[in-house]
Amino acid sequence: MKNILITLTFIVLCFNANAACKFDLEFGEDASKVENRYGLPMPMQSEKLSNLIGIADEVCPNQRLKDVAIDYRFINNKLAAINLVTLNSDDDNKKSDKITLMKYAKRNYGDFDTGQNPTAYVGFEVFEKGDKFIVYQRVVDGDFINEQLYISTVEFDKLLGEVYAELEEAMGESENKN
């Protein structure tokens, strides 16, 4: 009986330690649910798109996501995607060098090969967990490391793709008129 209790305690602690962040909203929920915390969503390039920005360490204090922002993305005020972004400065990549977001992605969505030196990793990994669609990316733009973790559902990811395609088409038509 003692061994069973020890084993159960160990399993519960391990599960809780590796549980992904419980974000403020579920996919499809209305932005009004978090207006008191973040304010009104900010409009983006299209009237259908808006976003809210939060600090990951405040939303997910047990996940060790220091220096990471959360970008909640909405279509018609319904949560469509969550983007976690490492807050590097233009001349300093120290925050990405800590591989905080990479560790979070591996711990919660699946391990992937980063070579012998994870801080030198450049690329992206795609995960599908249930109805969730997750993309971890770490790319270098000049001297700047752009590190992000995109989380959505297959359905909302498709909708976002359609909205962005409409936006590109409208921009292309606008350029042709000029």
CA dihedral sign of residues 167, 172, 174, 175: positive
Q: For 99-145, what is the HEC assignment?
A: CHHHHHHHHHHCCCCCCCCHHHCCEEEEEEECCEEEEEEEEEECCEE
Mean pLDDT by 10 residues, the chain (178 residues): 51 52 92 89 89 92 91 95 89 85 95 93 94 94 91 95 89 72
Q: Which domain holds residue 13?
A: 2-177
pLDDT, position 2: 53
List phi, psi (to 5°) of 48.
Answer: -80, -25
In degrees, rounded to 5, the angle at the alpha carbon of residue 35 between the alpha carbons of residues 33 and 37 is 100
User: How many domains would you assign to the chain?
Assistant: 1
In sequence order, the β-bridge partners of residue 140 are 145
Q: What is the CA radius of gyration of the chain?
A: 19
What pLDDT shows up at residue 12?
A: 45
pLDDT tens, position by position, 85-136 = 999 876 778 888 889 999 999 999 999 999 999 999 999 999 999 999 999 9
